Structure 1
Amino acid sequence: MTHYLRSARALTAGATLCSGIAAYLATTDTPLLALPPVYVAALLAWGAAKDYGHHRRILVEHEQARRAAAVQGPRSTRPPDPTAELHATCCTEAFVSRGDTHEPTCPTRTTRSSAA
């Protein structure tokens, strides 16, 4: 729970209270007295919406940082290379011949023994 969530909940409670006061004042003999609580309720609701947004942003940033640390490790500064796995794979001839022959451009060129 971030401090933004706590303040957003408090602002929401205040906006609800001001809305109740405005509803009560609207039923009295002077309904114009309901305008200031309506204005305050709107301001409190706007502040609550901003704080809920900040809370969600912080949660997303933490989740993105957690996923990035799990993928690359704590000391990695480079983004992951999506083609790295493709470059490390074997060639088509080795796939067809089960590792006995390789193309000249094959990065691994490891021949399998027929005894294995």
Structure 2
Amino acid sequence: MTHYLRSARSLTAGATLCSGIAAYLATTDTPLLAVVPVYVAGLLAWGAAKDYGHHHQALVEHEQARRAAAVHGPGSTRPPDPTAELHAACCAEGFVSRGADHEPTCPTRTTRSSAA
């Protein structure tokens, strides 16, 4: 919860309280006094709406920063080249011959051809 959300909830409670006071004053002998709490309730509701917007913006910025850090942050185990495992898996001859022939330095030296 951000401080914007706490502030917005407080302002919303104040606006609700002022609306209740205005409703009560509207039923008394002097309904003209209800204008002041209605104005204050409007200002508090406007402030609450602004703080809810700031809270939402802070959440969006936090989520964007989290996603940006998760792509390739420090300590990422994802290889920069998705085909790096394929290139390191076998030698060039084995790759060209589909596993039938291997170079002397090939780490696997296994026949991968279904014809053999």
Same fold (TM over 0.5): yes
Q: After the TM superposition, which residues 65-104 of structure 1 pair with which residues of structure 2 at under 5 Å, given as runs?
A: 65-74=65-74
Structure showing greater Rg: 2
Gaps of 5+ in 1: 76-83, 89-99, 101-109
Identity %: 78
1:93 aligned partner: none
Taking structure 2 as the reference length, what is the TM-score of the superposition? 0.68
Q: After the TM superposition, which residues 48-67 of structure 1 pair with which residues of structure 2 at under 5 Å, given as runs?
A: 48-67=48-67
Runs of 4+ residues over 4 Å off in structure 1? none
Change beyond 3 A, Cα 1:74–1:26: farther
Change beyond 3 A, Cα 1:74–1:39: farther
One-letter code aligned to 1:65: A
Gaps of 5+ in 2: 76-80, 84-91, 101-110
Structure-2 separation of matches of 1:74 and 1:38 = 54
Taking structure 1 as the reference length, what is the TM-score of the superposition? 0.68
Cα shift at 1:73: 1.2
The Cα RMSD (Å) is 2.5
